[in-house]
Each structure stands twice: as structure tokens, then as C-alpha cells.
């Protein structure tokens, strides 16, 4: 049985580090540009695998050199791969600009990720049926994610959906009810729930509001502020660790990959969220997306070096 099955995007990231943000029409020379593995599906799968889980990844790439590079890079993290090769589409690409404070802006070209269909997902149903946790994101067609969610639930798995990029049009109640746990950031939560959380207390209320729309639980990630949640009867929040941020690219993916791992291992929701938040904080101290994901030993060392987090359950 796979601990975690990820159905999602596989990209190559072109990341430019900027000395400052340009004005419209202005050219700014990048400090450097990195080429790396990305795509929310790939990032989450790598993050989960590095934490010691058995992880399978279902996705798609093109027949181009970028697709070959992506598969080769995925081969370094002990993943079981079910990657479709699509001759009619290029490999997905993300063009990422990282500012001087580590914040980022991303332009996404879905490419082969957009070719994933429910029929393709059905071919991989035996793999999904073995999952303890199915992890999804919004970088592939919704119909494919919904088919994967139905298969996983039929076999008793927990379905976690990261609704990023923010869904437009906003998902209806039937769609939201297909997922057990929704993990939006503040922007995505505001779009779905109708109001933007301004802090952790407000994010708790937003998480509660999200659970009334369909999912069993919701976790709202608030970047450097922290994270808030409602999972069943458990409601709470915790501030983020204070770290020296290099860039935030892939931090949310690391959080979701780690969350899936610790849930698959039977951790209570609060404990899984706590561990996942620390994995994500550590990832922000390193450049890159998938490349920044820490290993379990590194997360445990990081936690030992930090003060006990301020968990605020209710």
C-alpha cells in the first residue's frame, strides 16, 4: 500500500532572482536564474517522499527535453512514477520571479498537465486504490481530480485538496464535498469562502466557514503569519516559525506533502499540521521548489532547535 498518492502537475521551473521588482515596461537584470523541477504535484510528491513515506505520482509531461529532464529529476527521490507522455503537448512550465524579500510571482503554462482526463485517471485506479491519503491540487483539470477523489474514497483514503491556483469559477458545494480536507492559502480561502482572513483568529473562522461549504475539514495557510484549521471538532491556530527566508516558492507544496505523510501515519490533525508547518518553514530557508523540501531528520533537528510552538486549540 502506498502511504500517499499524488495526482497532479509536473513542471520545469525557470526561477529568476531579482534585486527589486520592475515597473511595468521596465527591464531588470536578474541576479541569477535557476532551472529546476516544479509543478505542485511533483513538489508535493517529492516533499512526501523525503519525509519517508511510500509515494506514488500520477501526472503527464510532453515528449520534449524538459519532460525527459523532469522524469529524470523525479527519479532521485524514490517515487513510484505513473507519468503519461503526451506527444501533442509541451511539458508544463512555470516562470517564477523571486523578489529581494523572498516573495514571488509565478506565470504558469500548463502544457501536458492540462491533458489529464478522467479516462487516464481510471487507468491508474489500482494505484489510487492503495493510498492512505490522496493528495490533489488545482493545476490539472478538475474532472481528473474528481475522478481520483471518488476512487480514493471508495477505498477508504483521506482526500486532501490544495485549491491552488485559486479556482475560477469558484467550486460549488458538490465539488467541495468531494474532498475531505481543503488547504487554501489566504487568497484562495477568501475566494471560496467570500471573505479574506486578516490574521490567525480570522483564519480560524474562515476555516470553519469553509467546512460548512462541503469539506470535512479546512486548513488555511497564512504564510509568515502561520496556519489555522478546523478538522472535525478540532479548531485552532499556530504562528509560523521565525526563519531566515530565502524564497517561499514551493513552501505550500511542502506543507501539503508533509501533511499527507503525517496523516497517513495516523497522527492527529493538530500534530500533522504542526509537523507540516515546520517542514514548510524549513523549506523557505532554501532556494527552489521541489529541491527545497527537507528530509525527516532535518525537520526533527529543526524542531529540536526551536522553542515549543504556540498551539492554540479550542
- What is the rounded distance in angstroms from the CA atom of residue 113 to the CA atom of residue 175? 20
Looking at residue 106, what is its pLDDT? 87
| Residue 289, pLDDT score | 83
Q: What is the pLDDT of residue 12?
A: 96
Q: Please list, in sequence order, all residues whose beta carbon lies within 8 angstroms of the beta carbon of residue 85, skipping any fewer than 6 positions away.
A: 60, 61, 62, 63, 67
- The CA-based dihedral angle spanning residues 220, 186, 40, 121, taken in that order and rounded to the nearest 10 degrees: 70
**What pLDDT, on a 0 to 100 scale, did the predictor assign at position 195?**
85
Instruction: Output the pLDDT for position 1.
Output: 58
Residues 6+ apart with CB under 8 A from 218: 181, 182, 183, 184, 189, 206, 207, 208, 210, 211, 229, 230, 231
Active-site residue identified among 162, 253, 274, 278: 253
Q: How confident is the model over 300-309, as pLDDT tens digits? A: 999 998 865 5
> In this predicted structure, what is the pLDDT of residue 312?
53
Q: What is the pLDDT of residue 76?
A: 86
The model carries a pTM of 0.92
Q: Which residues of the chain have pLDDT under 50?
A: none
Distance CA 183, CA 203 (A): 12
- Whether the upstream peptide bond of residue 273 has omega within 30° of 0, thus cis, is no
CA-CA distance, 303 to 105, in Å (whole number)? 29
Q: Give the pLDDT score at 212.
A: 96
What stretches of 167-235 show up as alpha helix (H) in DSSP? 173-176, 186-193, 200-211
pLDDT at 103: 86
In tens, the pLDDT along 57-96 reads 999 999 999 999 999 999 989 899 999 999 999 999 999 9
Does residue 253 carry a catalytic annotation? yes
Amino acid at each position: 500500500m502506498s502511504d500517499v498518492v499524488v495526482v497532479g502537475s509536473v513542471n520545469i521551473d525557470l526561477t529568476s532572482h531579482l534585486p527589486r521588482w520592475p515597473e511595468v515596461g521596465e527591464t531588470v537584470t536578474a541576479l541569477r536564474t535557476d532551472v529546476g523541477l516544479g509543478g505542485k504535484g511533483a513538489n508535493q510528491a517529492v516533499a512526501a517522499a523525503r519525509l519517508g513515506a511510500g509515494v506514488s505520482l500520477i501526472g503527464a509531461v510532453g515528449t520534449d527535453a524538459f519532460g525527459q529532464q523532469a522524469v529524470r529529476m523525479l527519479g532521485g527521490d524514490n517515487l513510484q512514477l505513473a507519468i503519461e507522455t503526451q506527444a501533442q503537448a509541451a511539458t508544463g512550465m512555470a516562470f517564477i520571479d523571486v523578489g529581494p524579500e523572498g516573495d514571488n510571482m509565478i506565470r504558469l503554462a500548463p502544457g501536458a498537465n492540462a491533458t489529464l482526463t478522467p479516462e487516464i485517471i481510471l487507468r491508474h485506479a489500482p494505484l489510487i486504490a492503495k493510498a492512505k491519503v490522496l493528495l490533489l491540487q488545482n493545476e490539472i483539470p478538475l474532472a481528473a481530480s474528481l475522478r481520483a477523489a471518488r476512487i480514493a474514497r471508495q477505498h477508504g483514503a483521506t482526500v486532501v485538496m490544495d485549491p491552488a491556483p485559486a479556482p475560477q469559477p469558484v467550486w460549488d458545494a458538490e465539488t467541495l464535498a468531494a474532498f475531505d480536507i481543503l488547504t487554501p492559502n489566504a487568497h484562495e480561502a477568501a475566494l471560496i469562502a467570500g471573505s479574506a482572513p486578516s490574521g490567525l483568529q480570522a483564519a480560524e473562522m474562515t476555516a470553519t466557514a469553509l467546512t460548512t461549504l462541503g469539506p470535512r475539514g479546512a486548513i488555511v495557510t497564512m504564510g509568515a503569519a502561520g496556519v489555522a484549521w478546523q478538522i472535525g471538532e478540532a479548531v485552532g491556530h499556530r504562528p509560523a516559525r521565525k526563519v531566515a527566508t530565502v524564497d517561499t516558492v514551493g513552501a505550500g507544496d511542502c506543507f501539503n506533502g508533509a501533511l499527507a505523510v503525517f496523516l497517513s501515519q495516523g497522527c492527529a490533525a493538530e500534530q500533522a499540521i504542526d509537523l507540516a508547518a515546520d517542514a514548510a518553514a524549513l523549506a523557505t530557508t532554501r532556494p527552489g521548489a521541489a529541491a527545497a523540501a527537507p528530509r525527516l531528520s532535518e525537520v526533527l533537528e529543526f524542531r529540536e532547535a526551536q522553542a515549543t510552538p504556540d498551539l492554540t486549540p479550542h
